[in-house]
Structure formats: C-alpha cells, structure tokens
Structure 1
Amino acid sequence: MTAQNMNSQNSATSTDQADRSMTIDTVAANDNAVTNISINDHSDSDNGVDLSAVFEPYFRPDANTIVCGALNEEKVAALAKAGVELVINLQSEDELSFNESAAVERAGMSYEHLPINGAEELKQLKILAFDNILRQYHGKKMAIHCGSGNRVGAAIALRAGWLRGRKMDTAMERGRSHGLTKLEQEVHNRLLVPR
C-alpha cells in the first residue's frame, strides 16, 4: 500500500458506522484505476461482541481503543467479553452510579481513574497524567470513557497538541475521532496558548 493509500484509510468509527471502518485503496493497473473498498469489522477482534449495539455513544478510533459514555455492570461485562484489558474513567466519583472500580477489577480488567470535571480541569497537569496512563498501557486494548465521550476527546486533542506537537487541525480531528463535541471551542482556545 502506498503512502497515499494509507492516508486514505479511515479507521475512526462512530455509532452511525456500526463498529466498522472503511478502507479505500486505489491502485493503478494498466492505466485503469481500480478502487477496492473493504469494511473492517472489529467484531472479530472483539470476540464476536458487537460493541456498537451495547454503547451509545460509541467511537472506535482504532482497533485497540474504544471510547464510550458512562458504564454500568452490563457494559463492564461486555467490555471484558470483548477482550478489553484496561478501563480508563474520566468521570468524577459523584457521577458514578455503582462501584465501577470493583466491577472492572472483578471482570479481570485493569482500572485507572482520572476525574476531569469539565472544561475547568482541562489543564496541563491532568493531560500529563492522562498521557502517563496511555504510555503505561501502550498497545493494550482499552476503553476510555466519561459521561458522553466529550471529555475523552478533549483530553486526546490537548494531548496531541500540547504533548505531541501536532498542528491545530490534526489535534482537533484526533479529538473528534475520540468523541469531542461540546468542548470543541474550549479545546481550540486552549490549543492556541503555547504550553
């Protein structure tokens, strides 16, 4: 696959795309362009679990990353069955309706809790802590959640811009693929300020 074809891969999914990503490859063969379209269904890598039917909202930026809203006992069980190794929770304790840590650990997964209480806590120290968790579990299959995926997307965009040196458009798109919606303007404004 050429660099151009690799750039045309779309690996981000949302609930509208039902846990599938589309790959479009265009290959020149004897002066005729041939376009191959394939659907990447993650259910094989998820032990047959259709996570898009379990979670709303649901984002799948890559095969090892699931971004979703608040969890409950059933959703924790679905993540465990799908082979998730780590759950990262960005909700505060007062947002939780059950003992999430105990449920996740009972299900055999690791648990990390980094509460981000809205835009006012989107600060560099929180993003550094978030980055540390992601680095510690690099390569593991993980589910990252908050109430809606919005704080997850915000943290991902700020990490990309502040810590990875990505340009504004790239950082914002990375955030959107991870659920960034209502905090988009706040994240944009924070990325304008050099860190």
Structure 2
Amino acid sequence: MTLNIDAQSSTDVDAAPASVADNGINLSKVLEPYFRPDEQTIVCGALDESRVKALANAGVELVINLQPDDELSFDEAEAVTRAGMYYEQLPISGAQDLKQLNILAFDNILRQYHGKKTALHCGSGNRAGAAIALRAGWLRGRKMDTAMARGRSHGLAGLEQEVHNRLLVPR
C-alpha cells in the first residue's frame, strides 16, 4: 500500500510498502534512526519540519522530545502543535540527567497520554532508550535483563553501560 501526500517532498513519503496503522506512510524511510518497539510507539532521532509533518500524517498524537533547547534547530513545539499533535519536552542532555526525578517525570508524561500513538525522540534514540530502560527497572520493577532489552528496543546504545550501572543501585 502506498500513499502520496499532496506536495510533500519525496523524502516525506516513500513508495515502499507501509503499515496501515501509519496511514500508509513508511516512517522507516522518513525517520533516522527509526525504532518501532510496538504499534503505538515510534522512537527516532532529531526532528525537522518534514518529519513532524510525516508523523502527523502517520497518525501520531503525541511527540515527546528529550532534547534540550540548545539541540533544536527550529521551534519544534510550535511545529508539532500546528500539526495537531500534543507536545511534551523533558530535556535530558546526557547521563547526568538520567536521575530518578527525570524518570518519574517521564513516567508521568507516558501515563498522562496512555493509549496515544507516541513518537519519542532525542538526537539518536539513545537517551529515549535509556529513559525507557530506567523506567522499566526503577519504576516497573523489571529485572535487569528485561529492562535493558526494553531500552535497546527503544534505541539504547551508547548509554548502555551507564544505564546498567544505574539499575544496579536500588531505588
């Protein structure tokens, strides 16, 4: 199934088969990197105007941005809300921000929008995966292997050892 969306550039929509759940848009061709841990969750790297439009056209309802303002190249909050989606920002600059208070705030956002099709992003997906793993271990009581696997499915890579070490400390 393919979908050609009005005058958008060819980078927004690809002729390859795409998920019906994404209104025919092949997000793996639009977002880099791209992780799809489940039907309702998309994890990706930094956004721009065309990626925001693609997410909206794919039926995403919520964008959670883990990048601080100094990493953004445009007014993401305005672009996301203009596209008709909810927007939440929780700046996580790196390992130093992987604190329980931030993971509690992250959990609160996810609970507030439970059931919404969500795009979660940072620069590469690494911080998003770290937040997911820490949430699974600290707040959901998942075992180390399960929490780490959950993080990797959401983009955890470079922060893997840091997350592992943090999960070793009881909360």
Partner of 2:162: 186
Higher relative contact order (CA 8 A, sep 6+): 2
Distance, in Å, in 2 between the alignment partners of 1:42 and 1:132 is: 31
Q: Which aligned pairs between 1:34-53 and structure 2 lie closer than 5 A? A: 43-53=19-29
Partner of 1:123: 99
The structure 2 residue matched to 1:70, chosen from 20, 23, 46, is 46
- 2:60 is equivalent to residue 84 of structure 1: yes
| Residue identity (%) | 79
**Pairwise CA RMSD:** 0.8
Q: Which structure carries more strand by proportion?
A: 1
- 2:29 is equivalent to residue 61 of structure 1: no
**1:42, CA displacement in angstroms?**
6.1
Distance, in Å, in 2 between the alignment partners of 1:121 and 1:64 is: 26
Distance, in Å, in 2 between the alignment partners of 1:82 and 1:157 is: 26
Q: For 2:22, what is the secondary structure of its paired residue?
A: coil
The structure 1 residue matched to 2:125, chosen from 124, 131, 149, is 149
Distance, in Å, in 2 between the alignment partners of 1:46 and 1:117 is: 30
Distance, in Å, in 2 between the alignment partners of 1:124 and 1:153 is: 15
The answer to whether the 8 A contact 1:42-1:63 is kept is: no
Distance, in Å, in 1 between the alignment partners of 2:168 and 2:92 is: 21
**1:43, CA displacement in angstroms?**
1.3
- 2:120 is equivalent to residue 133 of structure 1: no
Give aligned pairs, total.
155
**1:56, CA displacement in angstroms?**
1.1
Partner of 1:14: none
Partner of 1:111: 87
The structure 2 residue matched to 1:158, chosen from 131, 134, 137, is 134
Distance, in Å, in 2 between the alignment partners of 1:43 and 1:108 is: 21
How high is the TM-score relative to the length of structure 1?
0.79
Distance, in Å, in 2 between the alignment partners of 1:177 and 1:112 is: 22
Residues 116 and 75 of structure 1, relative CA distance in 2, 3 Å threshold: same
Partner of 2:8: none
**1:75, CA displacement in angstroms?**
0.0
Distance, in Å, in 2 between the alignment partners of 1:42 and 1:113 is: 28
Partner of 2:69: 93
Rg larger for? 1
Quick one: which amino acid aligns to residue 118 of structure 1? G
Distance, in Å, in 2 between the alignment partners of 1:146 and 1:139 is: 21
Quick one: which amino acid aligns to residue 137 of structure 1? Y
Gaps of at least 5 residues in structure 2 are 1-16
Distance, in Å, in 2 between the alignment partners of 1:85 and 1:147 is: 20
How high is the TM-score relative to the length of structure 2?
0.90
